[in-house]
Amino acid sequence: MIALLLICSWRVWAARPLDTDDAGTVERGKTEAALSFEYCQYRPDGSCQVPGVAVKHGLTDMLDIGLGFSHSTDRDAEGNTLGWGVSPLEVGLKFALLKGKEVWPDISISAGFETGSPEYGMNLILSREHGPWGVHYNLGYDASGEAMVNGSMRTSMAAVYAFSDRVRICGELGGEIMDDGSEVLGNSGLIGGSVTIGPVDWDLGFRIYDQRGPQTTITTGITAGF
């Protein structure tokens, strides 16, 4: 997973509907594609709609590459359009450092950037599964790419419970601060889940923020592998 610039866009890299990525990589020669849609309700009024597309491909058993972009439409309380546009193309790589060990968690690192921007992001990912439970932890850094301009640090933790091979629920807490600790940029939490329907996974999530973010965000998407 990479850190992207728009509040509703970087999630195309995560294990939907979560912001938190898992340590798994796409199998060599396999491809995973996701279509997503988010509706953000802002304070005090206004909204944002963000459809997105992401594709990941396994280059080796330990490395995958991802491409993605999103489109955002911002409206005020009366429904007037304030902003409209397509994000730059997002490029990311994820490399598995350790996986399949009984004692240690699976560990991966990811890095990525938006084309045309000096900013880039890096993320450390730890995952552990036990029975129907999966727990994932992310520690990320987003760099501005410019001298004398601070970046930010992100951290999040998510838990997933699988009722069966087809039905899963999940929850997550996360936050972001300036890298010098001078300002908290935001905190949020999510509850949601996903279900396998034929060849695709359909997900749905509900996210709430502290006073520094939107009031709420509803996210949904479809993921398929081939």
Reading the chain (226 residues) residue by residue, the pLDDT tens digits are 333 333 333 444 568 999 999 999 999 999 999 999 999 998 878 999 999 999 999 999 999 999 999 999 999 888 888 888 999 999 999 999 999 888 899 999 999 999 999 999 999 999 999 999 999 999 999 998 888 889 999 999 999 999 999 999 999 999 999 989 889 999 999 999 999 999 999 999 999 999 888 899 999 999 999 9
pLDDT score, position 9: 39
Domain annotation for the chain: domains and CATH numbers: 10-225 (2.40.160.40)
pTM, two decimals, is 0.89
The residues near 128 (Cβ < 8 Å, ≥ 6 apart) are 105, 106, 134, 135, 136
> Is residue 139 a contact partner of residue 124, using CB atoms and an 8 Å limit?
yes
The residues near 71 (Cβ < 8 Å, ≥ 6 apart) are 50, 51, 52, 85, 86, 87
**Interatomic CA distance for residues 134 and 141, integer angstroms:** 24
Nearest to 25 by CA among 1, 58, 53: 58
pLDDT score, position 82: 86
Q: Within a 10 A sphere around the Cβ of 78, how many other Cβ atoms?
A: 7
pLDDT score, position 205: 97
